[in-house]
Amino acid sequence: MKKLSVFKIVVLVVLGIVIFRMVFDPFRLPLLALLIIAFLFSFKKRRKCKNELEDVPSIKKSTEEHYESIGMSPQEINFFRDTMNTTKKQIVQLQANMNKSTKLRAIDLRNDTLRVSKALFKEIVKEPKKLHLANHFLYTHLPNIVDLTNKFLEISDHEIKSKETYEKLEESAQIIDQVSKLIKKDYQEFVSDDLDDLDVEISVAKNSIKRDNESNN
């Protein structure tokens, strides 16, 4: 059995005293009702906040030290972890949605939507300081495609479909396909700096090889 916190004990004692005094005064019953409602609302809000905190997996010491070593503040670390936790859930939901429909699976195969989303997720985790470069993916494209696929599956489950229903499904599929292409573009833009760095390395290597060949000749 869980022990009550000091806060809860104090609140319960105070509330008990107030109830005891008010129960004998009918004119104070409305005030008593408001106090009970306020207490329940406060308790529910505290419990919700606690659940949200527990929802984010605990951070490893090595990971926390890595974040600190690259100059992230505690607030930035918390924001980053909360953002990535939400993103992970959205990708899991997207995968479940894609697997429930032949039409959606075809879109996924055509655009590598899930593979690209997971790859971009890993790249962001590797470079948290570049979080702002993935704004479109994190806050627009990924949430949108999850919502669109949710609605697509909901409409697909209708037992009786009209001509308008099929038209809406086709339109939704086209939009999902377009958003999938945008997600692929998000990935390409995020890793573009790495590609530029590789171009520089290739150029340096070519020049080195050229100099060595000329020297040997």
pLDDT of res. 206: 47
Beta-carbon neighbour count of residue 177 at 10 Å? 18
Q: What is the pLDDT of residue 61?
A: 83
Q: What SS3 state is found at 199?
A: helix
Q: From CA 41, how far away is CA 184, in angstroms rounded? A: 44
Q: How far apart are CA 142 and CA 136, in angstroms?
A: 8
Radius of gyration of the chain (CA): 28
Report yes or no: 15 and 31 within 8 Å, Cβ to Cβ.
no
Q: What is the pLDDT of residue 204?
A: 46
Q: What are the pLDDT digits (tens) for 155-205? A: 999 989 999 999 999 999 999 999 999 999 999 999 987 544 444 445 444
**pLDDT number for residue 105:** 97
Distance CA 42, CA 187 (A): 43
Name which of 110, 81, 86 is nearest 173 in CA terms.
110
| Residue 164 CA to its chain's centroid (Å) | 33
> Which parts of the chain sit beneath pLDDT 50?
1-3, 49-50, 52-54, 195-201, 203-206
The Cα 82–Cα 130 span in angstroms is 16
Q: Is 182 exposed, middle or buried (0-12, 13-18, 19+ CB in 10 A)?
A: middle
Q: 134 exposed, middle or buried (CB, 10 Å; 0-12, 13-18, 19+)?
A: buried
> Residue 58's pLDDT is what?
77
- State the pLDDT at residue 38: 63
The pLDDT value recorded for residue 53 is 43
What predicted TM-score, i.e. pTM, was given to this entire model? 0.66
| Cα–chain center distance at 72 | 19
The tokens for 79 are 């924001």
- Give residue 64's pLDDT: 85
Buried b (16+ CB within 10 A) or exposed e, 86-117: bbeebbebbeebbeebebbeebbeebebbebb
